[in-house]
Structure 1
Amino acid sequence: MRHNHGDPAGAQRLPDEVRDLPASWAVAVPAKPLHRAKSRMSAQLPDAERRLLVRAMLGDVLEAVAGAARIGNGMPGGCRARVISFAVVTADPELAALARSLGAEIVPEFGPDVAAGLAPETDAHPAAPRAGIPSAGPFSAPAPVVSGGDSTFRRAAALGLDWAARRAENVAVLASDVPGITSADVAEVLEAAGAGPGASFRGYVPDADGLGTTAATFSNTVDLRTFFGPRSAADFAAAGAVALEPAPMGIRRDVDSLEHIAELGALGPRTAEALDRVGDTARSVMGGSPRARREGRSSRSTTGPSAALTAEPADARERDAAR
């Protein structure tokens, strides 16, 4: 994955030992409440099965982010992107409980009076203000500007970005519905987006259709403009952000239908298990059992440095073929 960061004229070159330090990242994942999420799948799945699938996809995304944190934080010679914190923004107590169990912080979407059971006083505490970001309580109007999508999702994304900007100089917002994602995918995108100490950069990951986006990154900048919706890739580009591509399919294929899942060569274990439980509906649309996709994923899991970042060309081709 390549892009051109650029090198401002007259910029002072940092010592190599500083330039080579891993970039610290905070990652926010907005998640709609279960009763509203993936409403377009209601025509394909009963309500209980749709909710099960939504929950499973979020779990796989969070496990991928947690795995990327282990890659960046504990592996000598590993990824140069270090995830120091990640959070889910939600108003749903069930999704909040899942996120907590996987090591995520919780940012309540609507505050303590609405998001019952989310313990906002302990889970959404503000950290030290970031330079250029106004100091604000966890439920004050956030600084980031978010466009596209519905109004509640825009608010959730803005709260997530505001939370992340208080924890690290490098900030990412990631979709909750990319069940093919792996820790290597997260690490690869964040490493490509890392501008280096003192340099600013804004990036985005186009979705599988090339029209929307599934992730956005912000390095050393207070410009946190973020876009959602079917034209968000063009909106990011028009605002001066740089496409992080070719990004792995696992982070690009967001899911709004069972047909979208069928496009993925491998699935996270939670999503594959959920689809097994859904049964005949999923198999008829996807052309087979999701279990094979879960087993195929094992070759892409990472317990050491990111395969996407360390593989030889032949291994990279094998990984892409598996997608």
Structure 2
Amino acid sequence: MKTVAGHGATNGGWTIVVPVKALDRAKSRLARALPAPARRALVLAMATDVLRTCIATPGVARVRVVTSDPDVAALARRLRIEIVPEPVGAADRSGGDPLNAALTEAIRGVPGPVGVVTADLPELRAPQLARVLAAAVGHAHSMVPDHGGAGTTMAFWTGPAGARIPRFGPDSAARHLSEGGAVPLDEVDPSGAAGRDVDTPEDVLALAERAVGEATAAVLRAPSVAQGAHSAGVSATMVR
């Protein structure tokens, strides 16, 4: 595995891995509301805020980003964090989603506890992540379900390397729980920010009434994002 050195010590504390899809492929469900440039800007902004939060969180010794996107890699270099190139054509032993193969490579051989934090949590702040990590350290495997209950926003491992198997993708929450024996941490963060990912125009629209990171807030002020999310959100509500 080739990495570009950056933020964090190599010994002690958590290693946090943040996967970020190529920006042109990310958040396809937002396409009905946002044009491609606006969608790309929002994904990069959310990733920026999540990475900054990980860096600022007490107890985090190292942050890595898994990506094949040059703009995301440039962001990681500016933040001085490690880049793990997303492997092409890698086999996934945990259920078919190539993301899991990339994450497996990113956590391979890492000493100490490791975690995966998704890049679409614009409300997440260091105190909230620190609270989750404090709970996760007491379990061999734990996870945070997303606000819909089916997906996973975070997964953590403190046990043997061979048991560290990411199970992201469809129905990942159930898979982490049933196949991996993960302990759910859905009640650890009272604010809900740790589980509130952004996948739909309705999710984007809801951010207008919540505190988000600086980079995300700047993108949300752009007319193409605000108007697009509002239009799609209103339409979706009307047809229910």
Q: What does residue 54 of structure 1 align with?
A: 43
Gaps of 5+ in 1: 1-22, 73-81, 112-138, 288-323
Q: Which residue in the other structure is 1:242 paired with?
A: 183
Shift of 1:229: 2.6
- Which blocks of at least 5 consecutive residues in structure 2 are unaligned? 1-11, 235-240
**In structure 1, which of residues 216, 234, 259 is the aligned counterpart of residue 155 of structure 2?**
216
Which of 262, 269, 274 in structure 1 is aligned with 2:219? 274
Of the three residues 104, 112, 132, the one matched with 1:169 is 112
Aligned ranges 1:1-323 → 2 under 5 Å: 24-68=13-57, 72=58, 82-110=59-87, 145-147=93-95, 150-151=97-98, 153-162=99-108, 165-166=109-110, 168-195=111-138, 201-222=140-161, 223-239=163-179, 240-248=181-189, 249-264=192-207, 265-277=210-222, 278-284=225-231
Task: Supply the distance in 2 between the matched residues of 1:191 and 1:147 (Cα, whole angstroms).
Answer: 29
Aligned mates of 2:233, 2:193 — CA distance in 1: 17
Residue 237 (structure 1) shift = 1.4
- Is the 1:161–1:173 Cα contact (8 Å) retained in structure 2? no
TM-score, structure 2 normalization: 0.81
**C-alpha distance in 2, partners of 1:161/1:184?**
24
Residue type of the partner of 2:130?
A
Query: Could you tell me how far apart the structure 2 residues matched to 1:263 and 1:47 are?
Result: 20
Residue 25 (structure 1) shift: 0.5
Q: How far apart are 1:157 and its partner, in Å? A: 1.8
Q: Distance in 2 between matches of 1:210 and 1:221?
A: 27
Distance, in Å, in 1 between the alignment partners of 2:214 and 2:170 is 28
SS of 2:51's partner is: helix
Counterpart CA distance in 1 for 2:215 and 2:177 is: 34
Q: Deviation of residue 176 (structure 1)? A: 0.9
Q: Which amino acid aligns with 2:129?
A: V
Number of corresponding residues: 215
- Say which SS state the counterpart of residue 185 (structure 1) adopts: helix
Paired with 2:206 and 2:220, the residues of 1 have a C-alpha distance of 14
SS of the residue aligned with 1:227? Answer: coil
Contact 2:113–2:159 (CA<8 Å) still a contact in 1?
yes
- TM-score with structure 1 setting the length: 0.61
Counterpart code for 2:28 = S
